[in-house]
Amino acid sequence: MALFKKDKPSTERVVPTHIGIIMDGNGRWAKKRMLPRSAGHVAGSENFKTIARYCNKIGVKYLTVYAFSTENWKRPKDEVDGIMNLLRKYLKDSTNFKAENIKLRFIGELSVLPEDIRELIKQAELDSSEATGLTVYMAVNYGGRDEIVHALKRIAERVKTGEMNVDDITEDTVSANLYADCPDPDFIIRPSGEYRLSNFLTWQSAYAEFWYSDVLWPDFSPKDLDKAIDDFNKRNRRFGGV
């Protein structure tokens, strides 16, 4: 968790340890250009690569991106298929992450994904496991509440088998049973003019700083990210203290 030193020189910028991004606005980006929604997702996935590369360059340790929510299955089949195909394409090209020294991890209820995608995910996670730069957590079929239920079931199972007592359950127990093994996000970014968390990192965002922007995700540039991080640096994070 990035804490700011009071005596920090004004030129010294703190880069958040863990950034979460809700990649919103692909559909509107396409509509503005009279293109099909799928073109917006293509542009959004390209921008994800640009931003991940930039986060790696500036020393962000973890980046969690919301690629597909548990609610997104409600979208038309061709849109869902389009997003799944983008995922396939991204995973097949290991130069996207391996050559960049980026570690790739997936969070969400992955068991319902098409089998070939699950295999590609396994391979990509394995291929990038030695990377020492940025860790990207891609949230697919992810829901924050669903993740908490998943963690509670795991804990309940351990209580049932006598491995732990109910009284020993703490906040740390819940955190340790979530999908990702990393610090909570310091900073959550939602472009496209929406001011909602939309079931993203529900447990982990308790003390996160938020940044909203009207820029649509495919247009959200490294410059926009820099602006957001500059603003993050002005925040006075007290974590419930004074």
Q: Report the catalytic residues.
A: 24, 72
CA–CA dist 236, 3 (Å, integer): 9
Show the binding pattern over residues 45-64: x = contacts ligand FPP (CB under 6 A), - = does not: x--x----------------
Q: Does 27 bind ligand FPP (CB under 6 A)?
A: yes
The one segment of 20-28, 128-136, 148-156, 204-212 that binds ligand FPP by CB under 6 A: 20-28
- The answer to whether 158 and 130 are in contact (CB under 8 A) is no
Q: Phi and psi dihedrals of 64, rounded to 5? A: -110, 125
Q: CB-wise, 83 or 151, nearer to ligand FPP?
A: 83
Q: How far is the CB of 30 from ligand FPP (least distance, A)?
A: 8
CA–CA dist 82, 39 (Å, integer): 9
Q: Which of 16, 18, 19, 24 binds ligand FPP (CB under 6 A)?
A: 24
The one segment of 7-15, 83-91, 202-210, 225-233 that binds ligand FPP by CB under 6 A: 83-91
CA–CA dist 139, 80 (Å, integer): 15
CA–CA dist 124, 40 (Å, integer): 25
The one segment of 42-50, 106-114, 120-128, 162-170 that binds ligand FPP by CB under 6 A: 42-50
3-state secondary structure 216-229: CHHHCCHHHHHHHH
Q: CB-wise, 91 or 151, nearer to ligand FPP?
A: 91
Q: How far is the CB of 101 from ligand FPP (least distance, A)?
A: 18
Q: CB-wise, 151 or 180, nearer to ligand FPP?
A: 180
Q: Phi and psi dihedrals of 238, rounded to 5? A: -110, -15
Going from the C-alpha of 137 to that of each of 11, 65, 105, the distances in angstroms are: 30, 6, 5
Q: Phi and psi dihedrals of 161, rounded to 5? A: -85, 0
Q: How far is the CB of 14 from ligand FPP (least distance, A)?
A: 27
CA–CA dist 80, 121 (Å, integer): 18
CA–CA dist 237, 242 (Å, integer): 9
Q: CB-wise, 143 or 177, nearer to ligand FPP?
A: 143
Nearest to 186 by CA among 46, 75, 59: 59
Q: Does 139 bind ligand FPP (CB under 6 A)?
A: no
Q: How far is the CB of 135 from ligand FPP (least distance, A)?
A: 15
Q: Does 23 bind ligand FPP (CB under 6 A)?
A: yes
Q: Does 83 bind ligand FPP (CB under 6 A)?
A: yes
Binding site for ligand FPP (CB under 6 A): 23-28, 41, 44-45, 48, 67, 72, 83, 86-87, 90
